[in-house]
Structure 1
Amino acid sequence: MIQLLGEFDCKLDAKGRLMVPSSLKKQLPNVEADGLVINRGFEKHLVIYPKKVWEGIVSELSKLNQYEKKTREFIRFFTRGATELNVDAAGRVLLPKSLMEFAGIEGEVVLACQFDKIEVWSKAAYDSLLDNEPENFANLAEEVMGGKNRRDEDGA
Protein backbone atom coordinates (compact mmCIF):
# COMPACT_ATOMS: atom_id res chain seq x y z
CA MET A 1 0.00 0.00 0.00
CA ILE A 2 1.20 3.48 -0.86
CA GLN A 3 1.66 5.85 2.09
CA LEU A 4 2.16 9.42 0.90
CA LEU A 5 3.39 12.07 3.33
CA GLY A 6 3.76 15.81 3.18
CA GLU A 7 2.18 19.13 2.44
CA PHE A 8 3.55 21.18 -0.45
CA ASP A 9 2.98 24.78 -1.55
CA CYS A 10 3.16 24.98 -5.34
CA LYS A 11 2.52 27.43 -8.17
CA LEU A 12 0.92 26.62 -11.48
CA ASP A 13 2.52 27.97 -14.63
CA ALA A 14 0.59 30.06 -17.15
CA LYS A 15 -0.68 26.91 -18.91
CA GLY A 16 -2.06 25.37 -15.69
CA ARG A 17 0.80 22.91 -15.29
CA LEU A 18 1.86 21.78 -11.84
CA MET A 19 5.46 20.85 -11.10
CA VAL A 20 5.35 17.72 -8.93
CA PRO A 21 7.72 18.42 -6.01
CA SER A 22 10.75 16.12 -6.14
CA SER A 23 10.22 14.83 -2.58
CA LEU A 24 6.64 13.87 -3.51
CA LYS A 25 7.73 12.34 -6.82
CA LYS A 26 10.15 10.08 -4.91
CA GLN A 27 7.15 8.67 -3.04
CA LEU A 28 5.48 7.76 -6.33
CA PRO A 29 7.74 5.15 -7.93
CA ASN A 30 7.13 4.59 -11.64
CA VAL A 31 4.70 7.53 -11.80
CA GLU A 32 5.86 8.37 -15.34
CA ALA A 33 4.94 4.87 -16.53
CA ASP A 34 1.90 4.20 -14.32
CA GLY A 35 0.31 7.66 -14.44
CA LEU A 36 -2.11 9.44 -12.15
CA VAL A 37 -5.82 10.18 -12.09
CA ILE A 38 -7.28 13.48 -10.91
CA ASN A 39 -10.86 13.91 -9.80
CA ARG A 40 -13.17 16.20 -7.84
CA GLY A 41 -12.98 15.95 -4.07
CA PHE A 42 -15.97 15.87 -1.75
CA GLU A 43 -15.33 19.52 -0.87
CA LYS A 44 -14.16 22.23 -3.28
CA HIS A 45 -10.79 20.65 -4.00
CA LEU A 46 -9.29 18.05 -6.31
CA VAL A 47 -7.80 14.65 -5.55
CA ILE A 48 -4.90 12.99 -7.34
CA TYR A 49 -4.68 9.21 -7.12
CA PRO A 50 -1.87 6.97 -8.32
CA LYS A 51 -3.40 5.05 -11.23
CA LYS A 52 -3.30 1.72 -9.36
CA VAL A 53 -5.16 3.24 -6.39
CA TRP A 54 -7.81 4.65 -8.76
CA GLU A 55 -8.19 1.24 -10.39
CA GLY A 56 -8.87 -0.24 -6.94
CA ILE A 57 -11.56 2.37 -6.30
CA VAL A 58 -13.19 1.69 -9.66
CA SER A 59 -13.11 -2.03 -8.89
CA GLU A 60 -14.99 -1.37 -5.62
CA LEU A 61 -17.51 0.86 -7.40
CA SER A 62 -18.15 -1.81 -10.03
CA LYS A 63 -19.26 -4.23 -7.28
CA LEU A 64 -22.03 -1.90 -6.09
CA ASN A 65 -25.64 -2.57 -7.10
CA GLN A 66 -26.18 -0.24 -10.03
CA TYR A 67 -29.91 -1.00 -10.05
CA GLU A 68 -30.20 1.29 -7.00
CA LYS A 69 -30.67 4.95 -7.84
CA LYS A 70 -28.48 6.25 -4.98
CA THR A 71 -25.64 4.03 -6.14
CA ARG A 72 -25.88 5.30 -9.72
CA GLU A 73 -25.99 8.90 -8.50
CA PHE A 74 -22.98 8.39 -6.26
CA ILE A 75 -20.94 6.75 -9.01
CA ARG A 76 -21.95 9.45 -11.49
CA PHE A 77 -20.96 12.32 -9.21
CA PHE A 78 -17.89 10.62 -7.79
CA THR A 79 -16.37 9.85 -11.20
CA ARG A 80 -17.46 13.14 -12.82
CA GLY A 81 -14.44 14.81 -14.33
CA ALA A 82 -11.99 11.98 -13.59
CA THR A 83 -9.03 12.50 -15.90
CA GLU A 84 -5.75 10.70 -16.45
CA LEU A 85 -2.67 12.81 -15.79
CA ASN A 86 0.69 12.15 -17.36
CA VAL A 87 3.91 13.42 -15.86
CA ASP A 88 6.01 15.04 -18.60
CA ALA A 89 9.81 14.88 -18.88
CA ALA A 90 10.12 18.01 -16.73
CA GLY A 91 8.02 16.48 -13.92
CA ARG A 92 4.89 18.52 -14.63
CA VAL A 93 1.22 17.58 -14.95
CA LEU A 94 -1.43 19.60 -16.76
CA LEU A 95 -4.51 20.15 -14.59
CA PRO A 96 -7.81 20.12 -16.54
CA LYS A 97 -9.41 23.57 -16.75
CA SER A 98 -12.88 22.31 -15.81
CA LEU A 99 -11.55 20.75 -12.61
CA MET A 100 -9.53 23.86 -11.78
CA GLU A 101 -12.69 25.95 -12.16
CA PHE A 102 -14.63 23.55 -9.90
CA ALA A 103 -12.01 23.90 -7.14
CA GLY A 104 -11.40 27.64 -7.64
CA ILE A 105 -7.75 26.97 -8.42
CA GLU A 106 -5.62 29.65 -10.01
CA GLY A 107 -1.89 30.26 -9.50
CA GLU A 108 -1.09 28.96 -6.01
CA VAL A 109 -2.06 25.51 -4.71
CA VAL A 110 -1.38 23.27 -1.74
CA LEU A 111 -0.81 19.55 -2.21
CA ALA A 112 -1.85 17.76 0.98
CA CYS A 113 -1.05 14.04 1.12
CA GLN A 114 -3.54 11.73 2.81
CA PHE A 115 -2.66 8.05 2.92
CA ASP A 116 -2.72 6.98 -0.76
CA LYS A 117 -4.02 10.18 -2.37
CA ILE A 118 -3.08 13.83 -2.77
CA GLU A 119 -5.60 16.60 -2.17
CA VAL A 120 -5.13 19.68 -4.35
CA TRP A 121 -6.50 22.89 -2.83
CA SER A 122 -6.35 26.51 -3.85
CA LYS A 123 -3.94 28.06 -1.35
CA ALA A 124 -6.62 30.50 -0.14
CA ALA A 125 -9.21 27.75 0.41
CA TYR A 126 -6.72 25.53 2.23
CA ASP A 127 -5.58 28.37 4.50
CA SER A 128 -9.22 29.19 5.24
CA LEU A 129 -9.95 25.53 6.01
CA LEU A 130 -7.08 25.37 8.49
CA ASP A 131 -8.09 28.71 10.03
CA ASN A 132 -11.39 27.02 10.91
CA GLU A 133 -9.78 24.23 12.94
CA PRO A 134 -12.24 22.76 15.42
CA GLU A 135 -12.20 24.68 18.70
CA ASN A 136 -11.20 21.58 20.57
CA PHE A 137 -9.29 19.23 18.29
CA ALA A 138 -8.80 16.77 21.17
CA ASN A 139 -12.59 16.38 21.46
CA LEU A 140 -12.86 15.74 17.72
CA ALA A 141 -10.10 13.13 17.94
CA GLU A 142 -11.91 11.37 20.78
CA GLU A 143 -15.21 11.46 18.88
CA VAL A 144 -13.71 10.05 15.69
CA MET A 145 -11.10 7.69 17.10
CA GLY A 146 -12.13 7.17 20.74
CA GLY A 147 -14.23 4.08 20.10
CA LYS A 148 -11.25 2.23 18.69
CA ASN A 149 -9.79 -0.33 21.06
CA ARG A 150 -6.07 -0.28 20.30
CA ARG A 151 -5.50 -3.58 22.12
CA ASP A 152 -7.93 -5.39 19.83
CA GLU A 153 -6.19 -3.98 16.75
CA ASP A 154 -2.75 -4.99 18.03
CA GLY A 155 -3.94 -8.50 18.83
CA ALA A 156 -3.31 -8.08 22.58
Structure 2
Amino acid sequence: MFRGNHPTRVDEKGRLKLPAEFKRRVDELYGPQFFITSKDGRRAEIWPLKEWEKIEAQLARLSPMDPVRKKFLDVTNYYGQMVEMDAQGRLLLPQLLRESAKATGEVNVLGVQTMLEVVNAESFKAEMKGERDAVELTVSDLTALAEKTKVSE
Protein backbone atom coordinates (compact mmCIF):
# COMPACT_ATOMS: atom_id res chain seq x y z
CA MET A 1 0.00 0.00 0.00
CA PHE A 2 1.38 3.39 -1.00
CA ARG A 3 0.46 6.32 1.24
CA GLY A 4 1.66 9.79 2.05
CA ASN A 5 3.13 12.76 0.19
CA HIS A 6 6.77 13.03 -0.77
CA PRO A 7 7.83 16.34 -2.36
CA THR A 8 10.65 15.85 -4.87
CA ARG A 9 11.88 16.99 -8.29
CA VAL A 10 11.68 15.80 -11.87
CA ASP A 11 15.10 16.44 -13.41
CA GLU A 12 15.78 18.25 -16.71
CA LYS A 13 15.74 14.91 -18.58
CA GLY A 14 12.24 14.09 -17.27
CA ARG A 15 13.35 11.51 -14.72
CA LEU A 16 11.67 11.09 -11.35
CA LYS A 17 13.66 9.44 -8.58
CA LEU A 18 11.21 7.41 -6.53
CA PRO A 19 11.16 8.58 -2.91
CA ALA A 20 12.92 6.02 -0.69
CA GLU A 21 9.78 4.87 1.14
CA PHE A 22 7.97 4.18 -2.14
CA LYS A 23 11.03 2.55 -3.72
CA ARG A 24 11.35 0.19 -0.77
CA ARG A 25 7.74 -0.90 -1.29
CA VAL A 26 8.27 -1.32 -5.03
CA ASP A 27 11.37 -3.45 -4.44
CA GLU A 28 9.50 -5.64 -1.91
CA LEU A 29 6.33 -6.21 -3.94
CA TYR A 30 6.57 -5.25 -7.57
CA GLY A 31 9.87 -5.08 -9.39
CA PRO A 32 11.10 -2.50 -11.91
CA GLN A 33 8.33 -2.43 -14.55
CA PHE A 34 5.64 0.25 -14.61
CA PHE A 35 2.89 1.66 -16.77
CA ILE A 36 2.82 5.44 -16.46
CA THR A 37 -0.36 7.15 -17.67
CA SER A 38 -3.12 9.61 -16.80
CA LYS A 39 -6.90 9.73 -16.93
CA ASP A 40 -7.05 13.52 -17.30
CA GLY A 41 -3.62 14.83 -18.34
CA ARG A 42 -3.26 16.74 -15.07
CA ARG A 43 -1.74 13.99 -12.92
CA ALA A 44 0.77 11.34 -13.88
CA GLU A 45 -0.19 7.91 -12.54
CA ILE A 46 2.63 5.46 -11.89
CA TRP A 47 1.23 1.94 -11.84
CA PRO A 48 3.41 -1.04 -10.94
CA LEU A 49 2.86 -3.34 -13.91
CA LYS A 50 1.30 -6.05 -11.70
CA GLU A 51 -1.37 -3.57 -10.53
CA TRP A 52 -2.04 -2.23 -14.03
CA GLU A 53 -2.50 -5.78 -15.31
CA LYS A 54 -5.33 -6.22 -12.76
CA ILE A 55 -7.11 -3.25 -14.36
CA GLU A 56 -6.53 -4.71 -17.82
CA ALA A 57 -8.01 -8.03 -16.66
CA GLN A 58 -11.16 -6.22 -15.48
CA LEU A 59 -11.39 -4.35 -18.79
CA ALA A 60 -10.99 -7.61 -20.72
CA ARG A 61 -14.32 -8.77 -19.23
CA LEU A 62 -16.10 -5.92 -21.01
CA SER A 63 -17.15 -6.05 -24.62
CA PRO A 64 -14.53 -4.62 -27.00
CA MET A 65 -17.42 -2.52 -28.36
CA ASP A 66 -18.16 -0.90 -24.98
CA PRO A 67 -17.72 2.87 -25.51
CA VAL A 68 -16.60 3.53 -21.91
CA ARG A 69 -13.95 0.82 -22.17
CA LYS A 70 -12.78 2.25 -25.48
CA LYS A 71 -12.55 5.81 -24.13
CA PHE A 72 -10.68 4.66 -21.01
CA LEU A 73 -8.16 2.75 -23.13
CA ASP A 74 -7.84 5.59 -25.65
CA VAL A 75 -7.04 8.14 -22.94
CA THR A 76 -4.74 5.94 -20.86
CA ASN A 77 -2.87 4.74 -23.95
CA TYR A 78 -2.59 8.30 -25.30
CA TYR A 79 -0.75 9.41 -22.16
CA GLY A 80 0.74 6.02 -21.28
CA GLN A 81 4.04 4.28 -21.74
CA MET A 82 5.74 1.23 -20.30
CA VAL A 83 8.75 2.29 -18.23
CA GLU A 84 11.46 0.39 -16.41
CA MET A 85 13.09 1.78 -13.28
CA ASP A 86 16.84 2.29 -13.67
CA ALA A 87 19.52 1.21 -11.17
CA GLN A 88 19.27 4.58 -9.37
CA GLY A 89 15.52 4.16 -8.80
CA ARG A 90 14.51 6.67 -11.49
CA LEU A 91 11.56 6.53 -13.87
CA LEU A 92 11.36 8.48 -17.11
CA LEU A 93 7.98 10.22 -17.25
CA PRO A 94 6.51 10.23 -20.79
CA GLN A 95 7.16 13.61 -22.44
CA LEU A 96 3.55 14.18 -23.49
CA LEU A 97 2.40 13.58 -19.94
CA ARG A 98 5.18 15.71 -18.41
CA GLU A 99 4.07 18.62 -20.56
CA SER A 100 0.34 18.13 -20.03
CA ALA A 101 0.61 17.66 -16.24
CA LYS A 102 3.39 20.24 -15.86
CA ALA A 103 5.31 17.47 -14.10
CA THR A 104 8.67 19.20 -14.20
CA GLY A 105 10.77 20.72 -11.45
CA GLU A 106 9.09 20.59 -8.04
CA VAL A 107 6.43 17.87 -7.78
CA ASN A 108 4.54 15.94 -5.14
CA VAL A 109 4.50 12.15 -5.28
CA LEU A 110 1.33 10.93 -3.60
CA GLY A 111 0.70 7.39 -2.46
CA VAL A 112 -2.72 6.27 -3.71
CA GLN A 113 -3.01 2.74 -2.37
CA THR A 114 -1.81 0.62 -5.33
CA MET A 115 -0.27 3.37 -7.45
CA LEU A 116 1.51 6.70 -7.20
CA GLU A 117 0.43 10.07 -8.53
CA VAL A 118 2.83 12.81 -9.58
CA VAL A 119 1.47 16.35 -9.52
CA ASN A 120 2.99 19.77 -10.06
CA ALA A 121 3.62 21.04 -6.52
CA GLU A 122 2.32 24.57 -7.07
CA SER A 123 -0.78 23.54 -9.03
CA PHE A 124 -1.63 20.82 -6.51
CA LYS A 125 -1.48 23.16 -3.54
CA ALA A 126 -3.65 25.72 -5.34
CA GLU A 127 -6.18 23.01 -6.30
CA MET A 128 -6.39 21.65 -2.75
CA LYS A 129 -6.69 24.92 -0.85
CA GLY A 130 -10.00 25.42 0.89
CA GLU A 131 -11.83 28.41 2.29
CA ARG A 132 -9.29 28.87 5.09
CA ASP A 133 -6.37 28.97 2.64
CA ALA A 134 -5.26 25.53 3.82
CA VAL A 135 -5.20 22.11 2.20
CA GLU A 136 -8.27 20.56 3.78
CA LEU A 137 -11.27 18.27 3.56
CA THR A 138 -14.58 20.08 3.95
CA VAL A 139 -17.48 18.80 6.02
CA SER A 140 -19.33 17.99 2.80
CA ASP A 141 -16.28 16.01 1.54
CA LEU A 142 -16.20 13.99 4.75
CA THR A 143 -19.97 13.44 4.72
CA ALA A 144 -19.86 12.17 1.13
CA LEU A 145 -16.98 9.84 1.99
CA ALA A 146 -18.83 8.50 5.05
CA GLU A 147 -21.87 7.73 2.88
CA LYS A 148 -19.80 5.92 0.27
CA THR A 149 -17.92 3.83 2.81
CA LYS A 150 -20.89 3.02 5.04
CA VAL A 151 -21.24 -0.69 5.68
CA SER A 152 -24.74 -1.82 4.85
CA GLU A 153 -26.38 -4.14 7.36
Same fold? TM cut 0.5 = yes
Structure 1 segments of 4+ aligned residues over 6 angstroms from their partners: 133-136
Matched letter for residue 127 of structure 2: L
Matching residue of 2:105: 107
What TM-score do the two structures reach when normalised by structure 2? Answer: 0.84
RMSD, matched Cα: 2.4
The DSSP-based 3-state class of the residue aligned with 1:5 is strand
Matching residue of 2:56: 58
CA contact (8 A) 1:32 1:87 kept: no
Q: Any gaps of 5 or more consecutive residues in structure 2?
A: none
Structure 1 distance, partners of 2:117, 2:25, is 15
Matching residue of 2:25: 27
Q: Any gaps of 5 or more consecutive residues in structure 1?
A: none
Structure 1 distance, partners of 2:122, 2:76, is 24
Q: Once the two structures are aligned, what percentage of the paired residues are identical?
A: 23
Matching residue of 1:8: 6
- When structure 1 is superposed on structure 2, of 119-128 and 129-138 the one drifting more is 129-138
What TM-score do the two structures reach when normalised by structure 1? Answer: 0.83
Q: 2:116 aligns with which of 108, 115, 118?
A: 118
Larger radius of gyration: 1
Structure 2 distance, partners of 1:13, 1:71, is 34
The structure that is strand-richer by fraction is: 2
The DSSP-based 3-state class of the residue aligned with 1:49 is strand
